[in-house]
Structure 1
Amino acid sequence: MRKQPPTYSPQMTRMAFAASFAFAITAPAHAQSTVTLYGIIDEGVNYTSNVQTSAGHGHNLYSISSGILSGSRWGLRGVEDLGGGMKAVFVLENGFDVTNGKLGQGSLEFGRQAYVGLSTPFGAVMMGRQYDPVVDYVHPLMPSALFSGSIGAHPADLDNLNNANRINNSVKYRSANYGGFSGEGLYSFGGTPGSVGTNQIWSVGFGYSSGPLNLGAGYLVARNPNVSFFGTAVGATAASNNFGSSPVINGYASAQSQRIFGAGATYAIGRATLGAIYSNTQFRHLSGAISPLNPAGVEGTATFNSIEADFQYQFTPALSLGVAYNYTAGNNANDAKYHQGSIGADYAVSKRTDFYLIGVLQHASGIDSTGHAARAALNGLTPSASNQQAAVRIAIRHKF
């Protein structure tokens, strides 16, 4: 007699599917692989004074905005153990605007970070869209990263210490940690046939951390920054001014190169932390010809020196307060000066959720990059109609 094929009840089918799914989930664990989903949602209400309208007048503005203390994001981080101390690593990180659901970083899908690489006991090599070493080592020491948010960054984030720009087409080496010391080197290919140097970027940095002391420093050189450094948004072209709307720097888009040196330190004393930051930014070889990239026809080199001091105090495990003062001075092709003070308070209601309050005030003087009297322009906000601007923000931040 021919044997009949077995029959399966719906319950048995569901059990078989569950077993297969469980195996698929646990199988990577045997290979010691992990993929982590993570993210931050930062949303709040802003008050900004003296915002310039299209008619040139200044008015107060009340608005909702996303990602000021921490850029709103979601990401995937993966690690696979290859044996012998070697691991394959990757990060895909998307930035977005909670207010309207739009993509951030110029509408790029993974505009914050997108890289893959290999980690070894001697260091790691990564390739893709990444932060440069100046950002990796100096940004974490900045008041803008700790309590004042992006509106408390240096004017127009001219030194990129608040990581406004990421580096495409890059290869980065990060050393292992040796007694608290570590270092990085990055090179970005320009991608121009027959000209290795066109649009290339390179950067180096180092850091030291031991007990209460943290140090960081870095140096970056970007060739043709309007394309290589600023021009990574969807729709950006070499002919368009990609420096943004801030009059602090948008008149310098014709620069043939940009150089940034940054250094910072923090030192903890009990519940208090003292910090200091210095940066030097140069927009070199400005064309002089009047164009959308150089509306004032500026020639030579525009240099900015920025110094900042800050103080933080942890009143309780949940409540902290920070204050900072920044002075940014233009030299050579410009003489604009910016005085800026900021204050921030943070209260954590759980390990993942906190509320924060930020206040920033800026005063400008001299002549800015557009050839006009300098206007106050808090980073990321619409510039003022005069030489002074203030902003206050209250917000909620959730990490997952």
Structure 2
Amino acid sequence: MKGKLLGMLALLVCMPAFAQSSVTIYGVLDAGITYTSNQGGKSNYFYQSGTMVPTLWGLRGTEDLGGGTKAIFRLVNNFNDGTGAMVNGLLFGKEAWVGLTNEQYGTVTAGNQFDFMFRYMTIDRWGAMLKYNPVYYTQQGPFAKLNLPNGSMDFDRTAGSITTNNAISYETPNFHGLKFGAMYAFGGQPGAFGQNSTQSFGVSYAGGVMTLDAAYTYTKFPNINNGNNGIRNWGIGGRANIADFMIDAMFTNTENTYNGGRVNVYEVGGYYQISDNNEMTVGYQFNQGNAVLSNNHAHQANVTLAHDFSKLTFVYATVARQWVSGDGDAFAAIIGAGGTSSGSTQTLCRVGLTVRF
């Protein structure tokens, strides 16, 4: 009897501690069949994972420290649901950070995390549209002379394919819809504080039917002038909610600060709630390279139709078409298409299923 009472007492003592902290397992599975009209000169059908959203699973947690302050963390693993393999062979290569948040003073996080080109120009700008806008809607094109480590994929950092290692980030509380953010990532080079570093800033406003966003990121890559120069991105954009419609627009500028290569992106898109369980998103982008990039240009149009089975599960069909031109070798390349075209056009079609948990 005494042992039972002691056990019950211990349980009661521990319960408040458990109530003040939580850890959640969550994830997304996205799978489907993709067709491309031209991959190196041939059409292709293939199974593809993680294009509406990355296929991933993660852990997120919070602990109430009192006084409005909480400790938070997030660990996210990006994997291929077709093979089970980790993307890039990294266990938590998508996100891995820890931090503190306070309702009055804001949030500080440290680790591998997204910069503000993705956090504000994509996540905040698209809002609810993000659920039905696949990676194909973001940027890739005939701009290899930008000399990014990953070619020209996600050159303006709005696809979320690039996270920033060794970064410290601060975001203000929300002041009547307005918030600011700043981030710095250390290059870790002895005697050269700024070498291989990243800095990012953002501002976002949401009020009524309107959302406005702006962001800046400058990353110095080791392959560009030994880490002393890099890729500078900045952009402005927003969306408007009108009844069952959402309309969005964005402009971004991407520049290699060493060779002067530059791309301007002009993008418009929209979302329409067809019925309770059916949605449509559309998008158009014009990517304009300068003379250093052989005046290469790319146009792309996209449309997606989705049907919700529930709040967590939906099927969709996407069609994307890109056509390019320029003074140099200009080959079409839709981001996520699996390969560059051997000509000036590329068409992509996909049918997929997305499940969240």
Is this a same-fold pair by TM over 0.5?
Answer: yes
The verdict on how the C-alpha distance between 1:118 and 1:340 changes in structure 2, with shifts beyond 3 A counting, is same
Question: Runs ≥4 in structure 1, deviation > 4 angstroms?
Answer: 19-27, 225-228
Please tell me whether residue 281 in structure 1 is matched to residue 269 in structure 2: no
Please state whether the residue corresponding to 1:315 is helix, strand or coil: strand
- Cα distance in 2, alignment partners of residues 122 and 196 from structure 1: 28
Is 1:255–1:284's contact at 8 Å kept on the other side of the alignment? no
- Cα distance in 2, alignment partners of residues 325 and 130 from structure 1: 28
Shift of 1:170: 0.4
Counterpart in the other structure of 2:118: 135
Shift of 1:98: 0.4
Counterpart in the other structure of 2:144: none
Please state whether the residue corresponding to 2:352 is helix, strand or coil: strand
1:326 to 267, 282, 285: 285
Please state whether the residue corresponding to 1:173 is helix, strand or coil: strand
Is 1:362–1:377's contact at 8 Å kept on the other side of the alignment? yes
1:285-341 Cα distance to aligned partner (Å, 9 max, x none): 1xxxxxxxxxxxxxx310000001112110122111111110001013111100100
Please tell me whether residue 41 in structure 1 is matched to residue 38 in structure 2: no
2:137 to 131, 152, 161: 152
1:111 to 73, 93, 111: 93
2:196 to 194, 199, 207: 199
- Cα distance in 2, alignment partners of residues 385 and 36 from structure 1: 45
Larger radius of gyration: 1
Please tell me whether residue 80 in structure 1 is matched to residue 63 in structure 2: yes
Gaps of 5+ in 1: 1-5, 7-11, 53-57, 229-237, 239-253, 286-299
Aligned residue pair count: 338
Please tell me whether residue 29 in structure 1 is matched to residue 18 in structure 2: yes
The verdict on how the C-alpha distance between 1:366 and 1:271 changes in structure 2, with shifts beyond 3 A counting, is same
Within-5 A mapping of 1:357-376? 357-367=317-327, 372-376=328-332
1:378 to 318, 334, 347: 334
Relative to the length of structure 1, the TM-score reads 0.79
Gaps of 5+ in 2: 141-152
- Cα distance in 2, alignment partners of residues 115 and 274 from structure 1: 33
Counterpart in the other structure of 1:336: 296
- Cα distance in 2, alignment partners of residues 76 and 21 from structure 1: 28
Within-5 A mapping of 1:185-334? 185-224=182-221, 226=223, 256-285=229-258, 300-334=259-293
- Cα distance in 1, alignment partners of residues 9 and 25 from structure 2: 23
Relative to the length of structure 2, the TM-score reads 0.89
Shift of 1:268: 0.8
Shift of 1:27: 5.7
**Counterpart amino acid of residue 84 in structure 2:** G
Is 2:170–2:183's contact at 8 Å kept on the other side of the alignment? yes
Is 1:148–1:342's contact at 8 Å kept on the other side of the alignment? no
- Cα distance in 2, alignment partners of residues 36 and 322 from structure 1: 30
**Counterpart amino acid of residue 49 in structure 1:** S
